[in-house]
Amino acid sequence: MQNISFKAGETIYTNTLAGEKSVEDWVREGEVLTKTWQNKLLLENKLDPEEYGDHAHWVLWCPVEIPDKVVIKWEFYPIKEPGLCMLFFAARGRNGEDLFDKSLPERTGYYPQYHSGAINALHLSYFRHKHPDERAFRTCNLRKSNGFHLVTQAADPLPPVDDAVSPYLMQLVKYEQYVQFSINNMVILEWKDDGSSFGPILHGGRIGFRQMAPMVAAYANLSVSHAMIN
């Protein structure tokens, strides 16, 4: 992907994420608590991870289906850790079904349902401060499902919450076989899917935010635009 750069074109979807009312039509999987914080959307878990373990995590899906060749932007405010933040994208059923097709098994935020269940998706983990080893050596991870395939990873510049100067400007490009992720206009991670090593190239589908409890974070100014190569 060297020497390839992208720019945003016509807007497809925007949401200021200015509080809990901004996601009333979003699809919740698992027990997510939405709040308004400084005119932004604050997200955290309802269930205690000490009691519910990995079943305390959740996913919040955008209700609009997204095409391929897009630039996805949002502002990220890490507030409380430990935890992990992720964006699912290009998510569909394994046979091409819409992600919310009633024929697909129920999903509850439990991660194996997303990486080894009835759906295909790309998973970008960009704030991996859940476990001690993740905090000691921080990386951004890109996975592809079906299957728990770690397709690439890169160094994560996001600091611990105590040192964070928010907002962090996140940008993800999905353009046919290419994935490119940037923070504050710095390219962090790039990957070119060969369409065979981990299954066919994924096109279109849904996007959704995921957090691992007890992470607390806020979000603002989500936009999805058509992507163009510079």
CA distance 182 to 188: 5
Domain count, the chain: 1
pLDDT of residue 141: 98
Q: What is the pLDDT of residue 4?
A: 86
Instruction: Kindly report the CATH number assigned to the domain that includes residue 197.
Output: 2.60.120.200
Per the structure, the complete domain to which residue 19 belongs is given by 6-229
- Which run of H or of E encompasses 132? helix 132-136
Residue 129 is assigned to a structural domain of this protein: yes
pLDDT of residue 159: 97
pLDDT of residue 220: 98
Residue 141: inside a domain, yes or no?
A: yes
Give a yes or no: residue 213 inside a domain.
yes
**Residue 60 pairs with which residues in a beta bridge?**
28, 209
| Kind of pairing between the strands at 6-15 and 216-229 | antiparallel
SS (HEC) of 146-207: CCCEEEEEEECCCCCHHHCCCCEEEEEEEECCEEEEEECCEEEEEEECCCCECECCCCCEEE
pTM above 0.95, yes or no: yes
| Strand runs labelled E in 30-167 | 32-37, 40-45, 58-61, 70-80, 83-93, 119-129, 139-145, 149-155
Each residue's pLDDT, cut to its tens digit, for the chain (230 residues) gives 556 899 999 999 999 999 999 999 999 999 999 999 999 999 999 999 999 999 999 999 999 999 999 999 999 999 999 999 999 999 999 999 999 999 999 999 999 999 999 999 999 999 999 999 999 999 999 999 999 999 999 999 999 999 999 999 999 999 999 999 999 999 999 999 999 999 999 999 999 999 999 999 999 999 999 999 98
Identify whether 1 is part of a domain.
no
